[in-house]
Structure 1
Amino acid sequence: MTRVSKEKRVEFTIKAGSPEKLKSGCVVVGVYAGGDLTASARALDKAANGAIAALLARGELDDKVGATLMLHDLPGVAAPRVLLVSLGKADELTDKSYRDAVSAAAKQLAGSVAADAAFVLTEAELPHRDLAWRLAQAAQILKDSTYRCDELKSKRDESKKGVKKIVIIAKAKDTAPLEAALRRGSAIAEGMALAKTLGNLPGNVCTPTYLATTARKLAKDHKIKVEVLEKGDMEKLGMGSLLSVARGSHEPPKFIVLNYKGSKAKDKPVVLVGKGVTFDTGGISLKPGEGMDEMKYDMCGAASVLGTFKAIAQMELPINVVGLIPTTENMPGGSATKPGDIVTSMSGQTIEVLNTDAEGRLILCDALTYAERFDPVAVVDVATLTGACIIALGNLTSGLLANDDDLAAELLASGQAAGDKAWQLPLWDEYQDMLKSNFADIPNIGSKGAGTITAACFLARFTKAYKWAHLDIAGTAWKSGADKGATGRPVPLLTQFLIGRAGQ
Structure 2
Amino acid sequence: MCTSVQPTEWTSDLKNQNFDGIVLVTQSHDTLPSELECLKAPLQDYSSVDSGLGEEVVILKVPGLPGNRLVFASTGPVNRDYDDIRRFSDAAVKGIKRALKAGIKRPLLVCPPHKDYKNSALVAALGALQSLYKPLEVREGNKKLSNYKVCVLGLWAKEEAEGQRLVELADALESGRLACRDIGGSDPERMAAPQVADYVQQLFEGSPVQVQVLSDLAVLEQEYPCLALVNRCASSVPRHQARVIKLQYCGEGPVQKTLMLVGKGITYDTGGADIKAGGVMAGMHRDKCGAAAVAGFFQILAKLKPKHLKVIGAMAMVRNSVGADCYVADELVVSRARRRVRVGNTDAEGRMVMVDLLCEMKEKAVNEVSPELFTIATLTGHAIRAMGPHYSIIMDNGPAHGNNNAAQWQKAGEVLGDVFEVSTIRREDYEFHKGKSEYEDILQCNNLPSSATPRGHQTPAAFLIMASGLDEHGVDSNKPLPYSHIDIAGSSGPFPGVPTGAPVLAMATNYILSNEL
- Is the partner of 1:100 in helix, strand or coil? helix
Matched with 1:290 is 279
- Offset, 1:112: 4.5
**Separation (CA, whole Å) in 1 of partners of 2:79 and 2:144:** 41
Find the partner of 2:48 among 57, 61, 67. 57
Find the counterpart in structure 1 of residue 227 from structure 2. 242
Is the 1:135–1:182 Cα contact (8 Å) retained in structure 2? no
Residue of structure 1 in register with 2:8 after alignment: 11
Q: CA deviation at 1:419?
A: 0.9
Mark the CA change 1:494 to 1:42 in structure 2 (over 3 Å): closer, same or farther: closer
Match of 1:136 among 122, 147, 153: 122
* Aligned with 1:86 (options 59, 71, 74): 74
**Alpha-carbon distance in 2 for matches of 1:503, 1:347:** 40
Residue 361 of structure 1 pairs with residue 358 of structure 2:
no
Distance 2:108 2:203 in 1: 33
Moved more, 96-105 or 436-445: 96-105
Partners of 1:297 and 1:478 within 8 A in 2: no
| Match status 1:384 vs 2:378 | yes
Describe the SS at the equivalent of 1:277.
strand
Per the normalisation by structure 1, the TM-score is: 0.87
| Distance across 2 between alignment mates of 1:442 and 1:43 | 66
Displacement after TM superposition at 1:256 (Å): 1.3
Distance 2:515 2:259 in 1: 10
The one-letter code of the counterpart of 1:62 is: L
2:262 and 2:294 in contact (8 A); partners too: yes
Question: How far is the alpha carbon of 1:210 from its aligned partner?
Answer: 1.4
Q: Which residue of 2 aligns with 1:204?
A: 189
**Equivalent in the alignment of 1:472:** 487
Paired residues of 1:198 and 1:206 also in contact (CA < 8 A): yes
Q: Does 1:223 align with 2:211?
A: no
AA paired with 1:412?
Answer: Q
1:180 aligns with 2:165: yes
Contact 1:112–1:161 (CA under 8 A) maintained in structure 2: no
Structure-2 residue corresponding to 1:98: 88
Say whether the 8 Å CA contact 2:125–2:155 is kept in structure 1: no
Change (3 A) 1:58 1:298: same
8 Å contact kept, 2:230–2:320: yes
Secondary structure of 1:371's counterpart equals: helix
1:443 aligned onto 2:443:
yes
Matches within 5 A, 1:99-118: 99-118=89-108
SS in 2 for 1:368: helix
CA distance in 1 between partners of 2:444 and 2:373 (Å): 21
Q: Which of these residues, 309, 334, 347, is aligned with residue 344 of structure 1?
A: 334
TM-aligned CA deviation for residue 470 of structure 1: 0.8
Q: 1:271 aligns with which of 246, 260, 264?
A: 260
Asked if the contact 1:135/1:178 (under 8 Å) is kept, the reply is: no
Please state whether the residue corresponding to 1:284 is helix, strand or coil.
Answer: coil
Question: Residue 477 of structure 2 aligns with which residue?
Answer: none
Secondary structure, counterpart of 2:333 in structure 1: strand
Distance 1:177 1:55, change over 3 A: closer
Gapped runs of 5+ residues in structure 2? 448-452, 474-480
Q: Take 1:220 and 1:140, find their aligned partners in 2: how far apart are those partners?
A: 25
Paired position in structure 1 for 2:415? 417
2: distance between equivalents of 1:488 and 1:147?
A: 11
Matches of 2:298 and 2:23, distance apart in 1: 32
TM-fit CA distance, 1:360? 0.8
Report the AA paired with residue 292 of structure 2.
Answer: A
Q: Which residue in the other structure is 1:433 paired with?
A: 431
> What amino acid maps onto 1:477 in structure 2?
S
CA RMSD of aligned residues (A): 2.9
Query: Which of these residues, 462, 465, 469, is aligned with residue 457 of structure 1?
Result: 462
1:325 equivalent among 312, 315, 328: 315
Deviation at 1:313, TM superposition (A): 1.0
Asked if structure 1 preserves the Cα contact closer than 8 Å seen for 2:136 and 2:182, the reply is no
1:398 paired to 2:398: no
Deviation at 1:275, TM superposition (A): 0.5
Structure 1: 5+ residue stretches without partners: none
TM-score, structure 2 as length reference: 0.85
Inter-partner Cα distance in structure 2 for 1:160 and 1:316:
27
Q: Which residue of 1 aligns with 2:24?
A: 29
Taking a change above 3 Å as real, the CA distance of residues 21 and 371 of structure 1, as seen in their structure-2 partners, is closer
Q: Is the CA contact (8 Å cut-off) linking 2:134 and 2:148 kept in structure 1?
A: no
Q: Deviations over 1:157-205 (max 9, x none)?
A: 9479954334433333xx4355233322222222212211222222223
Deviation (angstroms), 1:22: 6.6
Q: 273-282 or 153-162, which moves further after superposition?
A: 153-162
Q: What CA distance in whole angstroms lies between the structure 2 residues aligned with 1:326 and 1:502? A: 32
Q: Aligned partner of 1:10: which letter?
A: P
**Maintained 8 Å contact 1:60/1:69:** no
Q: Is the 8 A contact 1:219 1:226 kept in 2?
A: yes
